[in-house]
Amino acid sequence: MEPLRQLAKEKLSGRKIFAVMSAKGGVGKSIFSAIFSLVLSEKEDVTLIDMDIHTMASSKLFGFEGKLHEVSKNGIEPFNIGRLNLISLSGVVKNNYVILPGGNQSSVMESLISFSNLKGNVVFDMPPGLGDELLVLEKLANNYSPLVVTTPSKVSIKVVKYLLDYIEKEKGKKNVSLVVNMAYFNCDDKIVKPFGSVNYDELKYEGYSFDKIVEIPIDPKIEDYIGRIQDYSGEIKEKIKNDFLK
């Protein structure tokens, strides 16, 4: 009998759960997760859980690197940014690297969820790939809404199809959103697509269907906000606010 799994399931029950995911690394999941969560938290309590337990990028984005979570009778207390609550393994291990065999990864992810004091709806920043993290998510919260992140690059699209095949075709998910990150940038009011365009008709022809498709721009200014992403109010945030959550 596994008490942690039971507690994690109960803690997630009744909450709306968004899983920001990709089969491909380096497509910008963490930055998207952070800004998406910030936008959501303008209206309601949100807990962002960084499930990428090896890179722990979220704490770096928000400036909590090296800081530890407090632990109360209610469990691991999240870092607070207004109504956004951040849970990261970095708040348990500080600046230490995390190297774990597969079974331990699942256990750490379950512990992170079960022992945290969750508030409001939950956004999971998932690690890349189709490993333990995906299986853990399905065990604990099968009703999650997938936000699948890719770039327009052909290799990224090809790799992301593995994930889409799994969650759409095998699991029958109908509420999949496709987030095409780094899709374009504004150059003197002219739209430039440095990584090319996604052929959405071809995706449709191949049987993929999406609840929503959102193209996110490149904003070089975002680099100035690493460590204080909560202060960012540029076009990526506007795009998510206007095209995604309206």
Partner 1 sequence: MHEWSVADAVIRTVINWAEENHVKEVTKVKLGIPSYSFLEVDILKEAFDMMKKDSVLDHAELEIVIKEPTFVCKNCGYEFSSNDVKDQLDTVRSEFGEEYPLHLMPALAPSFLKCPKCGSHDIIVKSQDITIDGIEVKESGTAETVS
Mutual angle of helices 102-114 and 132-140, in 10-degree steps: 40
Question: Rounded to the nearest whole angstrom, what is the least distance from the CB of residue 88 to partner 1 in the complex?
Answer: 13
Question: Rounded to the nearest whole angstrom, what is the least distance from the CB of residue 93 to partner 1 in the complex?
Answer: 5
Interface with partner 1, residue 44, by CB under 8 A:
no
Distance (Å, rounded) from C-alpha 232 to C-alpha 184?
A: 19
Distance (Å, rounded) from C-alpha 202 to C-alpha 29?
A: 24
| Region near partner 1 per CB under 8 A, out of 16-24, 109-117, 138-146, 215-223 | 109-117
89 neighbors 71 (Cβ within 8 angstroms):
no
| Region near partner 1 per CB under 8 A, out of 86-94, 139-147, 196-204, 205-213 | 86-94
Question: Rounded to the nearest whole angstrom, what is the least distance from the CB of residue 70 to partner 1 in the complex?
Answer: 8
Interface with partner 1, residue 187, by CB under 8 A:
no
| Region near partner 1 per CB under 8 A, out of 42-50, 101-109, 154-162, 172-180 | 101-109
Number of residues that bind partner 1 (CB under 8 A): 31
Q: Closest Cα to residue 235, out of 213, 217, 212, 215?
A: 217
Nearer to partner 1, 111 or 153 (CB): 111
Among 73, 174, 190, 246, binds partner 1 (CB under 8 A): 73
What is the DSSP annotation of 93-144? HTT------HHHHHHHHHHHHHTB---SEEEEEPPSSSSHHHHHHHHH-TTP
Q: Closest Cα to residue 37, out of 74, 79, 7?
A: 79
Interface with partner 1, residue 94, by CB under 8 A:
yes
Interface with partner 1, residue 14, by CB under 8 A:
no
Nearer to partner 1, 13 or 199 (CB): 13
Find the angle CA(30)-CA(32)-CA(36) to the nearest 5 degrees: 120
Burial of 221 (0-12, 13-18, 19+ CB in 10 A): exposed
Among 80, 104, 186, 197, binds partner 1 (CB under 8 A): 104
Give the binding site for partner 1 (CB under 8 A): 1-4, 6-7, 10, 68, 71-76, 92-94, 96-101, 103-104, 107-108, 111-112, 114-115
